[in-house]
Amino acid sequence: MLFLVAALLLLGVVLGTVAHAPLTFSVTAGLVIAVWLGIFAARERHGRRRSTSAH
């Protein structure tokens, strides 16, 4: 529960910051985060396939 409260607080701070940032910066930051999450998901999927085939 504490984690959820902290996450919502952080989300509020980030959204408040984005509201005052220029649109180009917000879009660029969003694209960087999306690419990072895509790479992370691909690595996780690849790692899970490798570990399950070894068992």
pLDDT, tens digit, 9 for 90 and up, residues 5-48: 899 888 888 888 888 889 999 899 999 999 999 999 999 998 87
Whether 18 and 10 have beta carbons less than 8 Å apart is answered as no
**Which H or E run contains 41?**
helix 23-54
Query: In this predicted structure, what is the pLDDT of residue 48?
Result: 79
**Which H or E run contains 13?**
helix 2-20
pTM value is: 0.58
**Cα-Cα-Cα-Cα dihedral sign, residues 17, 22, 26, 29:** negative
